[in-house]
Amino acid sequence: MWTVDAMPDLAGRTAVVTGANAGIGFPTALELARHGARVIVASRDQDKGRAAAARILDQAPGGHAEFERLDLADLGSVRAFADTMRSRLDGLDLLINNAGIGMIPRQTTADGFEMQLGTNHFGHFALTGLLMPLLLVRPGARVVTVASDAHKFGTLDFGDLELREGYGRMSAYGRSKLANLLFAFELQRRAGSRLLSVATHPGVTATNIMKLGPLTGVVNALLRVAVQPAEAGAVPSLYAATSPDIRGGEFVGPKLKEPAISAAARDEALARRLWTVSEELTGVEFRDLVPR
């Protein structure tokens, strides 16, 4: 069984991890730093993000971690983050699209998207497109997108992407995770041999992704007792990001096995339509990739 001890030396490589201040994002960033990577801790909360970078430096002596603010629910923030990365980096080896929000009451992003789809999919779609020039200059660059087994509960109705009718917390979350899978697979088809795009499912993990109002603290405390810790949930992402055995277009789950994938997630026509709609709504085009 693969473990983080099998990770290669990542010296000279640069990684961006979204949502790296908490949940599975923190151990993902920590292990990358421990193995020599320069890690950008991307988080919307400046205090928590800076604290996470400091914790990584404390737990990974000689490592390199730095904070940069990123709010995936605001395309202006996504563009500002990408501008900063392009001005500071000469290339990017790893992009871990990890941040997410789940099962919240209906809300909208700064750009008017339904919050779960807007944060989990549109924000990462735009971020990946804006960072694509940095990725393509690095041989073997990888994009790892954290999806979920919950994608099987999601459907995409392009006539009501805002979910003004019939909003459900779980179905909206599942829809955003379906979009993550469709994006990861379509990115690989468009990129060909120029990079690897891999999706992961961490398994049921103790994180703070669920926002349930007054019950949030109680539920998350119970989860920390009943399910696997964040360190275990990070393993699929770390394997996808670093293993020489990974192939583009894979979906890596707990115990590094492929989870069951819904027919919708394998629908290439649906993926192409989502891609086109995502470009139109975010204003971000993947100019460096040739459309199929």
- DSSP characters over 30-85: HHHHHTT-EEEEEES-HHHHHHHHHHHHHHSTT-EEEEEE--TT-HHHHHHHHHHH
Q: Are 197 and 184 in contact (CB under 8 A)?
A: yes
Q: How far apart are CA 199 and CA 201, in angstroms?
A: 7
- For the annotated catalytic residues, the residue numbers are 173
Q: Are 133 and 288 in contact (CB under 8 A)?
A: yes
Comparing CA positions, the residue from 87, 208, 80, 101 lying closest to residue 148 is: 101
Angle in degrees, CA 119, 114, 263, rounded to 5: 80
Q: How far apart are CA 72 and CA 42, in angstroms?
A: 10
